[in-house]
Amino acid sequence: MKKLAVSALAGLILTSAALVFPTAASAAVPHTMDQCYQDYQECRENALNLDAPWWKVTIILTVCDIGLGKCALHL
Protein backbone atom coordinates (compact mmCIF):
# COMPACT_ATOMS: atom_id res chain seq x y z
CA MET A 1 0.00 0.00 0.00
CA LYS A 2 2.88 2.35 0.78
CA LYS A 3 4.47 1.68 -2.61
CA LEU A 4 1.22 2.62 -4.34
CA ALA A 5 0.94 5.84 -2.37
CA VAL A 6 4.57 6.75 -3.07
CA SER A 7 4.14 5.97 -6.79
CA ALA A 8 0.98 8.08 -7.00
CA LEU A 9 2.65 10.97 -5.20
CA ALA A 10 5.70 10.78 -7.47
CA GLY A 11 3.42 10.78 -10.51
CA LEU A 12 1.57 13.85 -9.24
CA ILE A 13 4.82 15.68 -8.59
CA LEU A 14 6.17 14.90 -12.07
CA THR A 15 2.90 15.90 -13.72
CA SER A 16 2.67 19.18 -11.83
CA ALA A 17 6.31 19.96 -12.64
CA ALA A 18 5.66 19.35 -16.33
CA LEU A 19 2.63 21.66 -16.23
CA VAL A 20 4.27 24.45 -14.21
CA PHE A 21 7.77 24.75 -15.64
CA PRO A 22 8.02 26.28 -19.13
CA THR A 23 9.44 24.47 -22.10
CA ALA A 24 12.46 25.92 -23.91
CA ALA A 25 10.46 27.02 -26.96
CA SER A 26 7.74 28.83 -25.02
CA ALA A 27 10.20 30.46 -22.61
CA ALA A 28 12.08 32.14 -25.46
CA VAL A 29 9.05 34.09 -26.73
CA PRO A 30 7.13 36.13 -24.14
CA HIS A 31 3.44 36.64 -24.84
CA THR A 32 1.44 39.80 -24.43
CA MET A 33 -1.87 39.68 -22.59
CA ASP A 34 -3.70 40.34 -25.86
CA GLN A 35 -2.13 37.26 -27.37
CA CYS A 36 -2.95 35.26 -24.22
CA TYR A 37 -6.63 36.20 -24.44
CA GLN A 38 -6.71 35.55 -28.19
CA ASP A 39 -5.26 32.07 -27.67
CA TYR A 40 -7.74 31.51 -24.83
CA GLN A 41 -10.71 32.49 -26.99
CA GLU A 42 -9.56 30.20 -29.80
CA CYS A 43 -9.11 27.35 -27.34
CA ARG A 44 -12.62 27.84 -25.94
CA GLU A 45 -14.17 28.08 -29.39
CA ASN A 46 -12.46 24.87 -30.49
CA ALA A 47 -13.53 23.09 -27.30
CA LEU A 48 -17.15 24.17 -27.61
CA ASN A 49 -17.30 23.16 -31.29
CA LEU A 50 -16.14 19.61 -30.56
CA ASP A 51 -18.53 16.76 -31.06
CA ALA A 52 -17.54 15.09 -27.81
CA PRO A 53 -19.23 14.12 -24.54
CA TRP A 54 -19.79 16.90 -22.03
CA TRP A 55 -17.12 15.60 -19.66
CA LYS A 56 -14.42 15.73 -22.34
CA VAL A 57 -15.42 19.28 -23.26
CA THR A 58 -15.27 20.21 -19.57
CA ILE A 59 -11.73 18.82 -19.27
CA ILE A 60 -10.60 20.69 -22.39
CA LEU A 61 -12.14 23.94 -21.11
CA THR A 62 -10.25 23.44 -17.84
CA VAL A 63 -7.02 23.00 -19.81
CA CYS A 64 -7.83 26.27 -21.64
CA ASP A 65 -8.22 28.04 -18.28
CA ILE A 66 -4.92 26.63 -17.02
CA GLY A 67 -3.23 27.71 -20.24
CA LEU A 68 -4.52 31.27 -19.81
CA GLY A 69 -3.21 31.35 -16.25
CA LYS A 70 0.21 30.09 -17.30
CA CYS A 71 0.36 32.63 -20.13
CA ALA A 72 -0.77 35.51 -17.89
CA LEU A 73 1.85 34.64 -15.29
CA HIS A 74 4.52 34.21 -17.99
CA LEU A 75 5.27 30.63 -16.89
Q: Which domain holds residue 65?
A: 23-75
Assigned domain for 62 exists = yes
**For residue 33, is it within any domain?**
yes
H helices then E strands: how many in the chain? 4, 0
Number of structural domains the chain divides into: 1
In a domain, 4, yes or no: no
Residue 3 placed within a domain: no
CA quadruple 13, 72, 67, 65: dihedral sign = positive
pLDDT at site 73: 87
Give the model confidence (pLDDT) of 17-33 as tens digits: 555 555 545 555 667 88
Residues 12, 25 contacting (CB under 8 angstroms): no
What is this structure's pTM? 0.58
At 36-74, the pLDDT tens digits run 999 999 999 999 999 999 999 999 999 999 999 998 888
For residue 15, being part of any structural domain is answered with no
